[in-house]
Copies of this chain bind each other. A is one copy, B any other.
Amino acid sequence: MKRKNLFLALLLLPLTALAVEMKSPNGNIVLSFNVDRGVPTYSMTYKGKEVVKPSRMGFELTKDKHASMGVNETDLMDGFMMGETKTTAFDETWEPVWGETRTIRNHYNELSVTLFKEIILKRRGPADPNIQERPQTALRTMIIRFRVYDDGIGFRYEFPQQRFLNYFLIKEEHTEFAMAGDHTAWWLPGDYDTQEQITQQSRLSEIRGRMKKAVNWDNSSVAVFSPTGVQTSLQMKTDDGLYINIHEAACLDYATMHLELVDAQTKALSTELGGGSNAYTPNPKPSPYELPAPFTFVSHLTPDATGLKGCMQTPCNTPWRTVMVSDDARDMLASNLILNLNEPCKIEDTSWIHPTKYCGVWWEMIVGKSNWHYTDDFPSIHLDQIDWQSVKPHGRHAANNEKVKRYIDFAAKNGLDEVLVEGWNVGWEDWANMWKRDVFDFVTPYPDFDIKMLNDYAHSKGVKILMHHETSSSTQNYERHIKEAYELMNKYGYDAVKTGYVGDIIPRGDHHYSQSMNNHYLYVIREAAKHHIMVNSHEATRPTGLCRTYPNLVGGESARGTEYEAFGGNNPDHTCILPFTRLQGGPMDYTPGIFETKLNTWSNNTSWARITIAGSLALYLTMYSPLQMAADLPEHYEKYDDAFQFIRDVACDWDDSKYLEAEPADYITVARKAKGTNNWFIGGKCDENGHQSIIKLDFLDKGRKYNCTIYADAKDAHYEKNPKAYTITKKVVKAGDVLKLTEAPGGGFAVSLIAQ
């Protein structure tokens, strides 16, 4: 051991030269790291402008009789000595299984810094009061690894396997992101259980004042934790025109990170928000952590049922903490930084994974015209006590043979790949928020859903049924049934499942975004992969690019989706901000395509979708996803079949994508080249103010002609007053031509360019 200590001492020699720098490949971004009086600190500039001011990094740990291993547990926040630093360059191009482009370049410079912290070992046996003993000490090692890209940085903490850091418990991660000013931010209330909120646009200094009203208290599961807590990805804009985005990548077996803003009023982190029946309990003891300056975000992890944030075993690492930056908003959308920071694909045979267009028995239940459940005869349901064949149906059950066949016919006729059927399986009578563990078995159909006949019928028409597994957040129950449920899917030829996690998590006290739940979602993805099943996970944690590693994760929700158009409505700018925020981590199953936006014209629902039909078509481009739903009812599409032609035509996998225009919450215009073809599709979507687009078709093949169909808002279109007014124009175009398109308030446009 003496030899080793000498070696460590040599490593620790260059203690005076502590600051290190790393530039991005093009030099625009400069990352600086320092150990400032024992505290690891980083900062970041873009073209010479401050993006992140000096910000501290570290962890509060907590003691536990089980995890101390003879060590007097201490925080990993200060007292660090710098060891070795390593720099490397990396440049590689890889091919995603599906994506916005055929290839993705992963180009960065890396800096890793090894840090040491001295700890005092526990005495074995009582001390001799007559002898002045020096305490026994040892060193712990923590590595901070930075990757500096041209469009941002990622960094993570790594904990090598080591004798004096085997297991540890995280009370809180304190990674700071010190902003240089009172930026404009597009934010959601920080919440342990939901992201189904309306995005708020405000100055950082205004977050506290707007928090209470910003929370969607009616959601089935709400757990906000701080009057200045916000979710990631957080999009910001500085007064001098920088776009900054904070998120995380590769969150695996670690709690999802939120950000808590320190503002002028902050007295302590995570103080009580008040109000709301399900609000968090404040930390019983104040943290020893010293507050940073105002406009600093501090990481805030999602706790388990006991308030703990993480159980760690070395070797291990945190997810990457990411800061993207550019002076061009389009770079925020085109960035592959999050995907690049994830591990390469771990699924060997990916031939069964495919982009999918689908319709489904869904919107009519969301709107309230029909039901998931089958009977009203029981005050509550015990799955093992009911003979379903003898149960009296109430007659409004949507997932019945006749209706499902009608959807299959519609899909087959219109080239849609799959038909989602929700409410096919028993248990929906009292499925949500009753603290029922055994709420579904995932294998027993209602009597009017003939699983074999319907799958045979679908397959005979070249269509698949898309499985639905609502778990009601009873995760133990889902895990108990998952193997049988997936075997049933294999037996009948399902190749994709939409999972759901509505309501508070069972076991009670856990949260949707905790370490254990993140592990659960990954368990589901892996089990599904074993069965060649694609996963579309609703109400799960927000994605952090895991679809690179597990490309069978083809979609997710984790935000306010189209369903809210039936629950009061989404703002017209909603889909102009989601690509900057929610979509950073992976595709969203937004379920676009509502044509009959005024729901009271065909149901008793008084809500309405704040979008024009042309705007709805645009979403198939601007809301990138390999999984795209045509969410409205077949009979509604049949009424506007000329517009529906675009949904028939549009691809959902791409060789190339070009973001032509973008401004958060204002407008997004993107052109995409369909995979394996020379066809392009363009979509433009805007907020309530409308937008003028001038599109230079300079990305088309030179010398080639294209049959161009333009689906645009009519002159007097308006998301509220006249949503169904659209025009369809056809012409032939070539590279270099210019399209001038007018988007109505809450509208948009869609263009198909089919190569001749």
Contact = CB atoms under 8 A, between A and B. Distances in A.
A313 interface: yes
Interface in A321-347: none
B503 A507 contact: no
Given A304-B509, A305-B305, A313-B380, A519 B435 contact: no
Contact of A64 (B161, B435, B509): B435
Contact of A305 (B306, B315, B380): B306
B314 A167 contact: no
Given A67-B435, A311-B435, A313-B434, A507 B305 contact: yes
A382 to B, nearest CB: 7
A508 B170 CA distance: 13
A296 interface: no
A519 to B, nearest CB: 7
Interface in A502-527: 503-504, 507-510, 516, 519, 523
Interface in A292-309: 304-306, 308
A436 B305 CA distance: 16
Contacts of A67: 433-435
Contacts of A304: 507-509
Contacts of A308: 508
A3 interface: no
- Max chain B CB contacts within 10 Å: which of A162, A503, A508? A508
Interface in A442-500: 476, 479-480, 483
A166 interface: yes
Contact of A480 (B379, B433, B523): B523
B379 A161 contact: yes
Contacts of A508: 304-306, 308, 311
A305 to B, nearest CB: 4
Contacts of A479: 476, 479-480
A528 interface: no
A430 interface: yes
The DSSP consensus for interface residues of chain A is: loop
A509 B305 contact: yes
Contacts of A516: 437, 476, 507
A527 to B, nearest CB: 9
Contacts of A380: 161, 166-167, 313-314
Nearest to A519: B437
A51 to B, nearest CB: 36
A134 interface: no
Contacts of A413: none
A65 B64 CA distance: 33
A730 interface: no
A483 B485 CA distance: 14
A35 interface: no
Contact of A277 (B65, B305, B382, B503): B65
- Max chain B CB contacts within 10 Å: which of A167, A314, A379? A379
B509 A435 contact: no
Interface string A374-391: 000011101000000000
Interface string A628-666: 000000000000000000000000000000000000000
A618 interface: no
A508 B67 CA distance: 13
A66 interface: yes
A278 B64 CA distance: 9
A369 interface: no
Contacts of A162: 379
A704 interface: no
B436 A313 contact: yes
A503 B66 contact: yes
A434 B278 contact: no
A169 interface: yes
A406 interface: no
A476 B482 CA distance: 13
A163 interface: yes
A662 to B, nearest CB: 40
A110 B627 CA distance: 61
A292 to B, nearest CB: 30
Contacts of A161: 378-380
Nearest to A69: B434
A653 B162 CA distance: 52
Contacts of A311: 435-437, 508
Given A65-B278, A304-B509, A508-B305, A379 B435 contact: no
Contacts of A66: 433-435, 503-504
A306 B509 contact: yes
Nearest to A435: B311
Nearest to A480: B479
- Max chain B CB contacts within 10 Å: which of A163, A430, A483, A509? A509
A381 to B, nearest CB: 9
Contacts of A483: 483
Contacts of A509: 304-306, 509
Contacts of A436: 167, 311, 313
A305 B434 CA distance: 18
Nearest to A310: B435
A436 B313 CA distance: 8
Contacts of A379: 161-163, 166, 314
A136 B161 CA distance: 64
A568 to B, nearest CB: 19
Nearest to A515: B437
A516 B437 CA distance: 9
Interface string A689-726: 00000000000000000000000000000000000000
Contacts of A510: 305, 507
A653 to B, nearest CB: 32
Contacts of A435: 64, 66-67, 167, 169, 311
A522 to B, nearest CB: 12
Nearest to A430: B166
A708 B166 CA distance: 60
Nearest 9 A-B pairs (CB), nearest first? A305-B305, A66-B433, A311-B435, A306-B509, A305-B509, A166-B380, A167-B434, A166-B379, A306-B508
Given A67-B435, A507-B516, 8 more contacts: A66-B434, A162-B379, A163-B379, A304-B508, A304-B509, A305-B508, A311-B435, A313-B380
26 contacts: A65-B278, A66-B434, A67-B435, A161-B378, A161-B379, A161-B380, A162-B379, A163-B379, A166-B379, A166-B380, A166-B434, A167-B436, A304-B509, A305-B305, A311-B435, A311-B437, A313-B380, A313-B436, A315-B382, A437-B516, A476-B479, A479-B479, A479-B480, A483-B483, A507-B510, A507-B516
